[in-house]
Amino acid sequence: MYTLGVRREFIARHYLVGGDWGPENSEHAHRYRLELVLEAKALDRHGFLVDIVAVEQHLDQVVADFRDKTLNALAAFAGLNPSIERLATVLHERFRERLAHLGLDGLAVTIWEDEIAWTSYRADR
């Protein structure tokens, strides 16, 4: 299995709902680091898993939808607690849809929230 990863950083705001998490219940910002990991069993005719430039364009477009936004206000989080686990799941779904044409065997999204916590969501094809 071949694996390729690309990363981006962005700042977004959120506040947690549904419980008493002290300061986390008030709107605040985090510096997120997103790592997108793509997997395939074979390389293309050029010896690439994917065209990194094309994947980076998708990455930049998706990140732009979250950068400098309040996650709670986005439709993807309507009625949901915008935890980093949910953020990873929402981002994974976006990339799965956008990159479906690549025929990947696996796709994972890892999100770091500042430098203290991370989560990952991965699914096979």
16 inside domain? no
Whole-number Å distance between alpha carbons of 7 and 42: 22
CATH of the domain at 73: 3.30.479.10
Residue pair 38/104 in contact (Cβ under 8 Å)? The answer is yes
> What range does the domain containing 27 cover?
2-9+22-40+51-124
| Closest-CA residue to 14 (of 91, 69, 92, 80) | 69
Total structural domains in the chain?
A: 1
Q: pLDDT 10s digit of each residue in the chain, 125 long?
A: 999 999 999 999 999 998 999 999 999 999 999 999 999 999 999 999 999 999 999 999 999 999 999 999 999 999 999 999 999 999 999 999 999 999 999 999 999 999 999 999 999 87
14 inside domain? no
**Residue 108 burial (CB count, 10 A):** 19
77 inside domain? yes
17 inside domain? no
| Closest-CA residue to 104 (of 59, 54, 32, 38) | 38
Q: Report the pLDDT value the prediction gives residue 124, as an integer from 0 to 100.
A: 84
